[in-house]
C-alpha cells in the first residue's frame, strides 16, 4: 500500500477553514482601524482655481509634516501610501533653553500649551522654566463668548487705570479660551494655594474689576510678581542654575572632545610609522610604559589640556582616562 502524504508532513498541524477565515477577518479589521492613521500627521496642500498645473505633471498634493501640538504614540501600521512628502524638520532645542522642549517619539510627555487652564497645579519645575522664558501670551480674539448673564470678557481689563488717570498694562493677566476665564500669570506659576485667578480662573465678569483690584494689591500677588521678574531676568542674562549647570556640561564635553582628538592623533602617528603601542608597564608613573603613553606624556609638556588630564589621572579624580591597555588594543 502507498503511504498517504509525505514524510515531512508527519506531525504538522494545519488550520481549518474556519480558523483561517477568522484570522483573515481579524487582520482586515485591524487594517481597517489603522487606515488613515497617518493623515493626522500630514497637512495636505490644496490647489486653488487660480493656480495652473502643467498637463504633463500628475496632480498630486504634497502633504507637509508639521510640528504636532500633542504628542501621540507612533503608528504601528506598515501600510503607507506612496506619495511625495515634504518633511519640515527643525533643529533640536538643545542650543537654547528657551526653545520648545525637544520632541522624542518614544516619550509619553505631552508638549506644553499656552493656555493656563490646561497647566497642572502646582506647575512642575520644567514647565515653570518654559513658561517664564516664553512669557504670557495673549491671543488676538475679537469676540468673546457670552455667559448666562449675557456678559463677556473684554480687552478693557488688560489695562489698569491709576488714581492719577494714568494707564498701566496688566501684563500678568491672561485669558483662557479653553475655560473662558482669566488667570494671573505670575500666581499661576508660583502660588501653592488654590484660589480665584490662580488655580481655577475667574469668570465673574460682573465683579471682575473689583476682583482684579483686590488681587493686584495683595501681598501674595506682589511677591509672585517679584519672583517672576527676578527669574525672567536671570534667564535673560543666563545666570540661572540650569544655565550654569548647562554651561559646565558644555565645557566638560568640549574638554573630552579635545582629549580624544589628541589621543586619535597619537594613534594615527604610531600606526603610520608601524610602531608598537604597549611596553613592559601600563601605568603612567613607571618607565618603559610603551610608545603610546610616552608620546602622550611628552605631548602633555606643551599641551595644557592634556597635562590637566594626566594630572587628574594621577590624583585619581577620573578612572575612565582612555589610556589603558584595553583601549590601546
Residue 139's alpha-carbon distances to 131, 143, 256, in angstroms, are: 15, 11, 46
Whole-number pLDDT of residue 301: 87
Q: What whole-number distance in Å separates Cα of residue 66 and Cα of residue 159? A: 36
Task: List CB contacts of 321: < 8 A, sequence separation 6 or more.
Answer: 309, 312, 313
> Taking CA 36 as the corner, what is the angle to CA 112 and CA 26, rounded to the nearest 5 degrees?
115
* pLDDT, position 244: 65
Residues 156-171: tens digit of each pLDDT: 899 998 888 888 899 8
**Domain definitions of the chain by residue range:** 17-110, 116-237, 241-328
Q: Are strands 86-87 and 64-65 parallel, antiparallel or unpaired?
A: parallel
What value does the mean pLDDT take over residues 76-92?
39
For the ranges 44-48, 54-58, 78-82, 284-288, the maximum mean pLDDT occurs at 284-288
Report how far residue 324's alpha carbon sits from residue 308's, in angstroms, rounded to the nearest whole number: 17
Which DSSP category does 202 fall into?
B
The mean pLDDT of the chain is 73
Give the bridge partners for 183, in sequence order.
Answer: 174
pTM of the model: 0.41
Q: Are 300 and 254 in contact (CB under 8 A)?
A: no
> 195 in helix, strand or coil?
coil
DSSP string for residues in 77-101: ---------EE-----TTS-TTSPP
Mean pLDDT for 86-106 is 39
Q: Nearest-5° angle of CA 289, CA 295, CA 296?
A: 90
| 196-239 pLDDT tens trace | 778 888 888 999 999 999 998 888 899 989 988 888 888 777 65
Question: Cβ(279)–Cβ(285) under 8 Å?
Answer: no
Cα–Cα distance for residue pair 31/77, rounded to 1 Å: 8
pLDDT exceeds cutoff 70 at 154:
yes
Contacts of 267 (CB under 8 A, 6+ apart): 292
Q: How confident is the model at residue 173, as a pLDDT?
A: 92
**Helix residue ranges per DSSP H, the chain:** 17-33, 125-134, 185-190, 208-216, 219-237, 241-272, 291-300, 304-314, 325-328
- DSSP calls for 161-218: E-TTS-EEE-TTEEEETTTTEEEEHHHHHH--S--TTTTS-B--STTHHHHHHHHHTS
State the pLDDT confidence band at 105, using cuts at 50, 70 and 90. very low
How far apart are alpha carbons 81 and 278 in whole angstroms? 57
Are 243 and 264 in contact, with CB atoms under 8 Å apart? no
In this prediction, residues 262-283 reach a mean pLDDT of: 83
Higher pLDDT, 151 or 73: 151
Identify the pLDDT of residue 63: 42
pLDDT at residue 314 above 70?
yes
Amino acid at each position: 500500500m502507498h503511504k498517504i502524504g509525505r514524510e515531512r508532513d508527519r506531525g504538522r498541524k494545519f488550520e481549518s477553514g474556519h480558523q483561517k477565515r477568522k484570522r483573515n477577518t481579524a487582520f482586515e479589521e485591524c487594517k481597517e482601524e489603522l487606515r488613515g492613521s497617518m493623515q493626522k500627521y500630514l497637512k495636505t496642500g490644496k490647489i486653488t482655481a487660480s493656480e495652473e498645473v502643467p498637463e504633463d505633471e500628475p496632480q498630486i498634493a504634497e502633504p507637509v509634516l508639521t510640528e504636532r501640538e500633542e504628542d501621540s504614540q507612533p503608528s504601528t501600521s506598515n501600510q503607507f501610501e506612496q506619495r511625495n512628502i515634504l518633511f519640515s524638520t527643525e533643529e533640536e532645542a538643545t542650543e537654547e533653553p528657551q526653545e520648545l522642549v525637544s520632541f522624542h517619539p518614544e516619550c509619553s510627555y505631552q508638549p506644553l500649551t499656552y493656555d493656563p487652564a490646561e497647566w497642572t497645579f502646582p506647575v512642575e519645575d520644567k514647565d515653570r522654566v518654559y513658561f517664564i522664558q516664553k512669557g504670557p501670551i495673549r491671543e488676538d480674539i475679537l469676540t468673546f463668548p457670552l455667559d448666562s448673564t449675557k456678559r463677556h470678557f473684554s480687552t478693557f481689563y488688560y489695562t489698569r487705570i491709576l488714581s492719577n488717570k494714568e494707564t498701566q498694562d496688566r501684563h500678568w493677566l491672561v485669558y483662557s479660551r479653553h475655560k473662558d476665564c482669566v488667570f494671573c500669570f505670575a500666581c499661576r506659576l508660583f502660588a501653592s494655594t488654590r484660589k480665584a485667578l490662580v488655580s481655577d480662573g475667574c469668570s465673574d465678569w460682573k465683579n471682575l474689576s473689583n476682583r482684579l483690584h483686590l488681587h493686584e494689591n495683595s501681598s501674595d500677588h506682589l511677591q509672585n510678581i517679584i519672583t517672576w521678574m527676578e527669574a525672567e531676568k536671570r534667564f535673560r542674562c543666563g545666570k540661572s542654575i540650569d544655565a550654569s549647570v548647562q554651561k559646565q556640561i558644555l565645557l566638560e564635553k568640549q574638554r573630552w572632545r579635545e582629549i580624544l582628538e589628541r589621543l586619535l592623533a597619537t594613534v594615527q602617528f604610531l600606526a603610520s610609522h608601524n610602531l608598537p603601542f604597549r611596553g613592559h608597564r601600563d601605568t603612567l608613573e613607571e618607565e618603559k610604559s610603551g610608545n603610546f603613553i610616552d608620546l602622550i606624556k611628552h605631548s602633555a609638556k606643551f599641551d595644557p589640556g592634556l597635562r590637566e588630564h594626566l594630572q587628574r589621572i594621577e590624583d585619581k579624580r577620573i578612572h575612565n582616562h582612555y589610556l589603558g591597555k584595553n583601549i590601546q588594543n
